[in-house]
Structure 1
Amino acid sequence: MQASLRLLNKRRFLPLFVTQLLGAFNDNLFKNAMVLFVVYQVYNDERSETWFSALATGIFILPFFLLSALSGQLADQRDKAGIIRIIKAAEIAIMAVGAAGLAFIWSGIAVHMLAIPLLLTALFAMGVHSTFFGPIKYAILPQHLHDEEVLGGTGLVEAGTYIAILAGTILAGIIPIEAAAIGIILTALIGYMAGRAVPPAPSLLETQPIDFHVIRSSVTLVRGTMHIRRLFLAIMSISLFWAVGSILFIQFPPLVKNVLSADKPVASLFLAIFSIGIAIGSIAINRLLRGEVSARFAPASVIGMGLCIVAFHIVCDLWTSGPEGELLTLSGFLAHPLAIALSLCLLGVATFGGMFVVPLYAFLTTTVEKCEAARTVAANNIVNSGAMVVGSLLAIGLSFAGVTVINQLLLVALLSLPCAWLAWKLHKACDGIPCH
């Protein structure tokens, strides 16, 4: 672990780490400030709240499905550091639009006609921003780091990402929405400055024409990647994991409000605990594997995640809320006799999730040629985003079918079984042989 942390004083790693950390922070400060305000201040029933939370999630991940092939081509064909600078400059303009939406909704000006459309437009644009940054932040690691540093670097990137999600999520729940509007613009400006310090990472391929036909290029990219058995198994495992993750993130705000009868800071706490758990799992699996890229712990990790979701469901079912119409404050929630058990279950879900997914991301970038890493990550993002869209639609469909948020947790837990099976197949496919 100390060897991995030493990467933080290297210019070949630190500016990228800071840039992606600030980007993840800004995504989550903006998205959660928006969702929590709408859930707690605009809508007043579980179905509408779940619908809006799912819509926001779907809008954010839709660009990953549409544009990942283009982003992978650009990342492999152009200097990755140069693309980072363009992406971070665009973030400043996107956050200006988002800040305007937050200002309108806080002021109560044209909430449904103008404020919410502006917020969703900015959210979609941030999805585009993350779509183009995603392949770079993983594919640049094998180019800047030594082979034995890649797993540690990937773990730090994942841990840093979820620490940033934690910070953005906590702030979104406790600061006024007008402060969030200012914060997202300032963070975008600092992120742009950090991005300018990322060392050059020129293309390792001969220049080839870019296919701007998003459907054709997406189909070509996925087909060219998924026919390789080990990549197919890794990508499908990650995609099922994120389908589970998307449903959980959609459920948290309405679950906290309607099942636990708790206020906005508690919803923020739930997302924060989830982020802490992913960060813990990211670091723990790096210690267990000692720098080796392997899926051998993945099946047990995702089964552990599923069992913790079941335990989380049981505790939620046993939860007794206060007087009707009154929401528990953060201190009131923490004083509840089941609060610690509920928090530990959620922490377990996220920790096992981090242990499951981090080695698989490292696997994607280290078992292909360095010049193909960005496109491999992009193909993964396309399939992941498709799975997350399906997860969002499933959450909406179950809500409209009358399945309560608390009972949806059991259906989510069942998805850990196919995840474990795919991860076991991946481990067996690469057991004892170099997967290059």
Structure 2
Amino acid sequence: MTVSTHILARRRFLPLFVTQLFNAFNDNLYKTAMVLFVVYSVYNDESAEGLFSAVASALFILPFFLLSALAGQLADMRDKAAIIRTVKACEIGLMLIGALGLYLAWRGIMIDTVAIPLMLLALFLTGVQSTFLGPIKYAILPQHLRKEEVLAGTGLVEAGTYVAILAGTILAGWIPVEWAAAGIIGTSIVGYLVSRQVPTAPPMGEVKKLDWHIIRASIALVRNTMHDRQIFYAILAISFFWTIGAVLFIQFPPLAKNTLMASKEVASLFLVIFSVGVAIGSVSVNALLKGQVSARYSPASVIAMGVFVVAFYVICRYWQSYDISEIMDVGEFLAWPLASAILLSLLGIAIAGGMFVVPLYAFLTTRSAPDQAARTIAANNIVNSGAMVAGSLVAMAMSAIGIDVAEQLLLSAAMCLFSAWLGQRLYRAELDAGPLTA
């Protein structure tokens, strides 16, 4: 029995793992169902659709900027399992709000004045929920798992999250919106019931007074966390990874449509392969490291990711030499000789990315002080969110000045080089600090 299958059979890990699966699945089922319904069934204007998507993205990420510091303090100074149960109970209420908005929009009742504001309110609250659960899902692992199990647990959480995101995203595109409204309520109830089985995880250090000044607390949190060289480089490397991921996800749909002349189903296939690849990389890196938390393979992994990005770019450029005049469906796309090369290069990007980022998350929870692990994850979330927004703005700016979307892939490849440098700096800091003691 492997370490991964061993801990999956234990109550100290399985309820947390399943709770996270339901949470990621439900978030993405709701977000995707909402955006697809509004874009395809409510608005008929490209600028209005773009504005709605931008507002929705901003509302979801805003809580990570505002509340991550408070979330980290709570997770380190209160019982983590109790916080999980409280947040999951609140999820039932916020999904009722979202479901009401979806139902009103489906029925065509007060769409602009009530339905859309309700859906956006629920989306914002979903971001708040994710903000408070984010630090816990990694910081709780060292309390419930043995040292040699932490990397395997981190990989399973990361892989399971991607699979759940994938399932929620695909299902939202296939079922009617009224089914989605019922589904998010049912999933939130089941998720709460599972969360009640998570074993207690009391604070591991001195319980201090919470700082409710969110701006001061956020600045102090990042400043106090980044003084450790290992944590500093791990957070920067993770942030650059998510910046690359954000840019790639922005590029996939227009690249599929305008460069590859493929349908939206093909763009969805790209996202599916990317999510599955990250899941594969997340689990496989544990086999290479044999349970040891180390950044040893991170530089090579992100270099490989950059190589696959360049290969993806070259294939896309060669694809443009084909005389394709109409948008192709999935079957027509897969019939072209280079289709398999495109999908394999994309899979390589994702697997290498998963192998790069998972040990870095394990670094944050094992190299930080036990009583500060959640705050370290919260600081990471603040920096990650800022980096993802910056990457998105850069991609938008390049599109605005007329840079071809295929050429923008080279930006992602260049960022992989910088991420490799950060990974190497982290590994040197790891060697200087010596092995982690129990």
TM-score (structure 1 length as normaliser) = 0.92
Alignment match, 2:340? 340
Q: For 1:178 and 1:26, locate their aligned partners in 2 and report how far apart those are by CA, in whole Å.
A: 15
Residue 431 of structure 2 corresponds to: 431
SS for the counterpart of 2:198 is coil
Equivalences for 1:368-379 in 2 at 5 Å?
A: 368-379=368-379
1:4 matched to which residue of 2? 4
Partners of 1:117 and 1:393 lie apart in 2 by: 25
Deviation sequence 1:351-377 (CA, Å, 0-9, x none): 111000000000010012211111111
Is 2:205–2:370's contact at 8 Å kept on the other side of the alignment?
no
In structure 2, how many angstroms separate the alpha carbons of the residues matched to 1:100 and 1:255? 35
Task: Provide closer, same or farther for how the CA distance between residues 33 and 113 of structure 1 changes in structure 2, counting only shifts above 3 A.
Answer: same
Aligned to 1:23: 23
Q: What is the DSSP-based 3-state SS (H/G/I as helix, E as strand, rest coil) of the residue aligned with 1:431? A: helix
2:214 partner amino acid: V
Change (3 A) 1:250 1:40: farther
Report deviation, 1:183.
1.7
Unmatched 5+ stretches in structure 1? none
Which TM-score applies when normalising by structure 2?
0.92
CA–CA separation in structure 2 for the residues paired with 1:254 and 1:431 = 43
Residues 255 and 405 in structure 1, CA contact (< 8 A), matched pair in contact too = yes
After TM superposition, give the deviation of residue 248 of structure 1 in Å: 1.9
Distance 2:44 2:22 in 1: 30
Q: Distance in 2 between matches of 1:252 and 1:114?
A: 33
Shift of 1:305: 1.2
**Residue 74 of structure 2 is aligned to residue 74 of structure 1:** yes
1:243–1:387 CA contact under 8 A, matched in 2: yes
Q: Is the 8 A contact 1:53 1:250 kept in 2?
A: no
Match in the other structure for 1:277: 277
Stretch deviating more after TM superposition (202-211 or 350-359): 202-211
What is the Cα deviation at residue 32 of structure 1? 2.4
Q: CA shift at 1:287, angstroms?
A: 0.4
Worse overlay, 425-434 or 223-232:
425-434
Code of the residue aligned with 1:6 in structure 2: it is H
Question: Letter of the aligned partner of 1:20 in structure 2?
Answer: Q
Secondary structure of the residue aligned to 2:328 is coil
Q: Distance in 2 between matches of 1:270 and 1:39?
A: 20
> Distance in 2 between the 1:435 and 1:105 partners?
54
Counterparts in 2 of 1:307 and 1:93: CA distance versus 1, 3 Å: same
**Which residue type is aligned with residue 430 of structure 1?**
E
Partner of 2:202, secondary structure, is: coil
> How many residues of Structure 1 are paired with residues of Structure 2 in the alignment?
433
Q: 1:310 to 1:48 in 2, by over 3 A?
A: farther
Deviation at 1:13, TM superposition (A): 0.4
Equivalent-residue separation in structure 1 for 2:50 and 2:431 (angstroms): 42
* CA distance in 2: counterparts of 1:53 and 1:415, whole angstroms: 26
CA distance in structure 2 between the aligned counterparts of 1:351 and 1:37, rounded to whole angstroms: 32
The alpha-carbon deviation at position 282 of structure 1 amounts to 0.6
Q: 2:53 and 2:250 mapped to 1: Cα distance? A: 5
**Measured at CA, do residues 321 and 111 of structure 1 come closer, stay the same or move farther in structure 2, by a change above 3 Å?**
farther
CA contact (8 A) 1:243 1:388 kept: yes
Deviations 1:165-208 (A, max 9, x none): 12112212322333222222211111111111101111122321
CA separation of 1:321/1:18 partners in 2, compared to 1, >3 Å: closer, same or farther? farther
Letter in 1 for 2:30: F
Counterpart code for 1:369: A
How do residues 285-300 of structure 1 correspond to structure 2 at under 5 angstroms? 285-300=285-300
Instruction: Go from structure 1 to structure 2 and tell me whether the alpha carbon gap of 1:217 and 1:114 turns closer, same or farther (over 3 Å shift).
Output: same
Cα distance, 1:243 vs structure 2? 1.0
Task: Kindly state the Cα deviation for residue 53 of structure 1 after the two structures are TM-superposed.
Answer: 4.7
Q: In 2, Cα distance between the equivalents of 1:224 and 1:399?
A: 37
Counterpart Cα distance in 2 of 1:63 and 1:134:
11
Show structure 2 runs of 5+ residues with no match.
none
Per-residue deviation at 1:420? Answer: 0.7
- 248 and 130 in structure 1: CA distance in 2 versus 1, 3 angstrom threshold: same
Partner of residue 96, structure 1: 96
Going from structure 1 to structure 2, the CA distance change for 1:115 and 1:254 (only over 3 Å counts) comes to farther
Query: Aligned residue for 1:171?
Result: 171
C-alpha displacement of 1:255: 3.4
Pair 1:331–1:118, CA change in 2 (3 A): farther
Structure-2 separation of matches of 1:190 and 1:244: 34
1:203-242 alignment runs, 5 A limit: 203-242=203-242
Deviations 1:251-310 (A, max 9, x none): 333433444444443333222111100110011110000011111111111111122222
Q: Greater CA deviation, 241-250 or 140-149?
A: 241-250
Match of 1:395 in 2: 395
- SS across alignment from 1:30: helix
1:404 offset after TM fit, Å? 3.6
Q: Which residue does 1:268 correspond to in 2? A: 268
User: Would the aligned equivalents of 2:231 and 2:368 in 1 still touch at CA under 8 Å?
Assistant: no
Q: 1:260 to 1:417 in 2, by over 3 A?
A: same
What amino acid maps onto 1:66 in structure 2? L
Q: Contact conserved, 2:31 with 2:123, CA < 8 A, in 1? A: yes
Q: 1:299 to 1:405 in 2, by over 3 A?
A: same
Partner of 1:188: 188
Q: Are 1:352 and 2:348 an aligned pair? A: no
CA deviation string 1:229-265 (max 9, x = no partner):
1111110000111111122223333433444444443
Cα distance in 1 for partners of 2:135, 2:124 equals: 18
2:252 counterpart SS class: helix
Q: Tell me the alpha carbon deviations over residues 307-328 of structure 1, each in whole angstroms, 9 at most, x when there is no partner.
A: 222222233331558544xx43
In structure 2, distance between residues paired with 1:40 and 1:266: 18
CA distance in 2, matches of 1:345, 1:169: 22
Give the secondary-structure state (helix, strand or coil) at the position aligned to 1:415.
helix
- Conservation of the 8 A alpha-carbon contact between 1:102 and 1:115: yes
1:256 maps to amino acid: A
Structure 2 CA distance for partners of 1:176 and 1:314, relative to 1, 3 Å: farther
Give, in angstroms, the shift of residue 125 of structure 1. Answer: 1.4
Specify whether residues 409 and 57 from structure 1 end up closer, same or farther in structure 2 by C-alpha distance, changes over 3 A only.
farther
Q: Are the aligned partners of 1:241 and 1:357 in contact in 2 as well (CA < 8 Å)?
A: yes
Query: Contact between 1:24 and 1:165, CA under 8 Å: does it hold in 2?
Result: yes
The alignment's C-alpha RMSD in Å is: 2.3
What is residue 315 of structure 2 aligned with on the other side? 315
